[in-house]
Structure 1
Amino acid sequence: MSCTCLARLTRCSGLVQKTVVPLLFQQGNFPELTHFDRKLFGQSRRQYSSSRFDPDSSGRPTTWDSFGIWDDRIDEPILLPPSIRYGKIIPNVNLMKVGCASLIGQRKENEDRFQVSQMTDNIHYFAVFDGHGGSEAADFCEKYMEKFIKSFLAEEDNLETVLSKAFLEIDKAFAKHLHFFPNGPGLNSGSTATVALLRDGIELVVASVGDSRAMLCRKGKAVKLTVDHTPERKDEKERIKRSGGFITWNSLGQPNVNGRLAMTRSIGDLDLKKMGVIAEPETKRILLHHVHDSFLALTTDGVNFIMNSQEICSIIGQCHDPKEAAQRISDQALHYGSEDNSTIIVVPFGAWGKHRSSDTHFSFSRSFVSSGRWA
């Protein structure tokens, strides 16, 4: 059955927002449950309705498992309008199943912040912020980033453009905020920011500044969605030098901007803005393939420094659910010797649990921690 016919059927049937209908997809030759329910659970823990299809009056919902598509790996309804629009099956991403964990490590305080929320009817919001020089910048991002994104969504449909504008504006707003506290503790405060927006359950857009990362697991392999902004990158180092800044290396061989900042882009760090440290993010847009994509992981450098992307991907793939996965990764980072705060968000997609790997992956940086060279 073509998408045009499906759309005509939808109109003629007078379907409303919460209608459930059997849908026959030509490619798979099997009936699928289609369901569209815009709201799930938000940060306020308020529950929204989620009706299911019950063909045999057994009281048990018909899910993906009932049709034997992906064994017992997903138990979510299908989003009807996006599935028709994109011509492929799109399951709902349940925010209640997203895994989050944040551990303080060996630091005096946890300067990491994270957020998971239903931003609009069809857009999910995921973000991690790793503060440095105090938690003021990370706190500011946690409180206002979503609001800035919403304001630009009202006038712009391109999510990459929306995120770029929001990052630049929140950096300006933080500078204005500190202007009223000239002797406050936040003048040297800064934060990484890695934000992911998921629209219609299929369009994933990621924006990032700093060294917090976003990674997609596709067919069991890690696909990096962000690249760290450090002085080791030639393009970043050249911008710093053109702006009058300089690069130094500490005793561990790590490059720093003007001897104090390990990254070349951030929110805040106002004293280094004239030295080429910018808040403009790099963005990436990708369409999900739920038959292949297992999850999205957002991590701070307390995890990244000690575990490589494929190792994170493999460990998460062995876990029963995203909540267990997030806790295991953060615990593992500390067990391996990470002294920084370790924060992770794990967002499950259609192929959750489908691609499991028993391969052993090793992070080279962990050997330095084990030998005490990073002490």
Structure 2
Amino acid sequence: MSTAALITLVRSGGSHVRRRVLLSSRLLQDDRRLTPTCHGSTSEPRCSRFDPDGSGRPATWDNFGIWDNRIDEPILLPPSIKYGKPIPKISLENVGCASHIGKRKENEDRFDSAQLTDEVLYFAVYDGHGGPAAADFCHTHMETCIMDLLPKEKNLETVLTLAFLEIDKAFARHAHLSADATLLTSGTTATVALVRDGIELVVASVGDSRAILCRKGKPMKLTIDHTPERKDEKERIKKCGGFVAWNSLGQPHVNGRLAMTRSLGDLDLKTSGVIAEPETKRIKLHHADDSFLVLTTDGINFMVNSQEICNFVNQCHDPNEAAHAVIEQAIQYGSEDNSTAVVVPFGAWGKYKNSEINFSFSRSFASSGRWA
């Protein structure tokens, strides 16, 4: 409606017409001021759907009471509409990653993070052994393998299971065609997490790398180590003709060689029950309670327990600082192995920061070990 038409109606109509026209004019002004525009940058206007007080100011997660100001992310509008709740955008720029060689001759750990599709994010850690060949192969090919499977399969647990098995077969073909015989004894753990729509988290794992979700300041373990100490894993090894032997430190190994019962690679132990099929877990994120996901290799896990990891990360200003802090603490506690951490922030980042942490340097080794 033009301005001239509005003036004509106001002059010719009664008071009720004036009220109606003024209301229409205000609505037009509001529409022009609040036209929805979504941007990836946090410095630009956000979608007006989530303007909490009608002020026209960008909505922050403090407005919803679930996001710390230090990491201000835009809202994912389609998933928020789909699930009926505000869902933050998880930016790869805010994901913290760190890796340290320790006192080893070579760092065989690898890690990844990537945006696979508009809806799906990918995070992974690989802890190689017997050389870095298997970990390098996963680092190079796992992302592509998952992307190829996503259009064919909606269930992310199935996607990850198929991807692990396919990567293992592909590495076997690669090793058998290679002139390097050491590839037959190269293997790696694999802990891979996919996040869809910012709310669906699926984790798959083989070996003893771990995934932990910090919910309300407490750790929620999303993986279980695959070691010969597990009765079900030990029985499978024996049924397949393998055996478990303990070394001088009292640690069980498959056929006296491998400290885990599932892995990618380790081709010489496939007939002894070492499999590549992962265990998977699906969980719905609650951004009001969930602070972060952390993926770690055993250079950290063997020295720092899950609650300590949550405490260290919760003290940090940003995820990159947190990833380095976890590794540094593991080294301080005596870790000599390769150590890698990936920290993915969620909606409650900074919400459950403890006022203080009591460090116990005399804590028992068992409390911080493999099953902590």
Deviation at 1:183, TM superposition (A): 3.9
Q: Which amino acid counterpart does residue 47 of structure 2 have in structure 1?
A: V
Cα separation, 2, equivalents of 1:69 and 1:141:
35
Deviation at 1:279, TM superposition (A): 0.1
Q: Which amino acid counterpart does residue 352 of structure 2 have in structure 1?
A: H
Q: Which amino acid counterpart does residue 189 of structure 2 have in structure 1?
A: T
Cα separation, 2, equivalents of 1:331 and 1:266:
27
Cα separation, 2, equivalents of 1:204 and 1:229:
21
Q: Which moved more, 1:73-82 or 1:142-151?
A: 73-82
From 339, 342, 357, the equivalent of 1:342 is: 339
Match of 1:23 in 2: 49
Cα distance change of structure 1 residues 158 and 68 upon mapping to structure 2, 3 Å threshold: closer
Q: Which amino acid counterpart does residue 95 of structure 1 have in structure 2?
A: L
Match of 1:373 in 2: none
Q: TM-score, normalised by structure 2?
A: 0.83
Match of 1:360 in 2: 358
Match of 2:163 in 1: 166
User: What's the Cα RMSD here?
Assistant: 2.4
Structure 1 SS opposite 2:72: coil
Q: Which amino acid counterpart does residue 270 of structure 1 have in structure 2?
A: L
User: Any stretches of 5+ residues in structure 2 without a counterpart?
Assistant: 1-33, 40-44
Structure 2 contact 244–256 (Cα < 8 Å) conserved: yes
Deviation at 1:63, TM superposition (A): 2.5
Structure 1 contact 307–366 (Cα < 8 Å) conserved: no
Match of 1:115 in 2: 112
Match of 1:269 in 2: 266
Structure 1 contact 266–277 (Cα < 8 Å) conserved: yes
Structure 1 contact 330–344 (Cα < 8 Å) conserved: yes
Deviation at 1:70, TM superposition (A): 4.5
Match of 1:146 in 2: 143
Structure 1 SS opposite 2:145: helix
Cα separation, 1, equivalents of 2:124 and 2:358:
29
Deviation at 1:128, TM superposition (A): 0.2
Cα separation, 1, equivalents of 2:128 and 2:114:
21
Cα distance change of structure 1 residues 14 and 176 upon mapping to structure 2, 3 Å threshold: farther
Q: Which amino acid counterpart does residue 111 of structure 1 have in structure 2?
A: E
Structure 1 contact 212–300 (Cα < 8 Å) conserved: yes
Cα separation, 2, equivalents of 1:112 and 1:96:
21
Paired positions, count: 328
Cα separation, 2, equivalents of 1:182 and 1:316:
44
Cα distance change of structure 1 residues 67 and 162 upon mapping to structure 2, 3 Å threshold: closer
Cα distance change of structure 1 residues 278 and 165 upon mapping to structure 2, 3 Å threshold: same
Q: Deviations over 1:256-312 (max 9, x none)?
A: 000000000000000000000000000000010000000000000000000001110
How do 1:245-256 residues align onto structure 2 when only pairs under 5 Å count?
245-256=242-253
Structure 2 contact 62–68 (Cα < 8 Å) conserved: yes
User: Any stretches of 5+ residues in structure 1 without a counterpart?
Assistant: 1-12, 33-53, 370-375
Structure 1 contact 99–346 (Cα < 8 Å) conserved: yes
Q: Which amino acid counterpart does residue 204 of structure 1 have in structure 2?
A: L
Percent identity reads 66
Structure 1 contact 131–189 (Cα < 8 Å) conserved: yes
Structure 2 contact 313–319 (Cα < 8 Å) conserved: yes
Q: Deviations over 1:42-77 (max 9, x none)?
A: xxxxxxxxxxxx936xxxx55334666545354111
Match of 1:5 in 2: none
Q: Deviations over 1:209-242 (max 9, x none)?
A: 0000000000000000000000000000000000
Structure 1 SS opposite 2:238: helix
Cα distance change of structure 1 residues 24 and 131 upon mapping to structure 2, 3 Å threshold: closer
Q: TM-score, normalised by structure 1?
A: 0.82
From 321, 324, 348, the equivalent of 2:318 is: 321
Structure 1 SS opposite 2:293: strand
More helix as a share of residues: 2
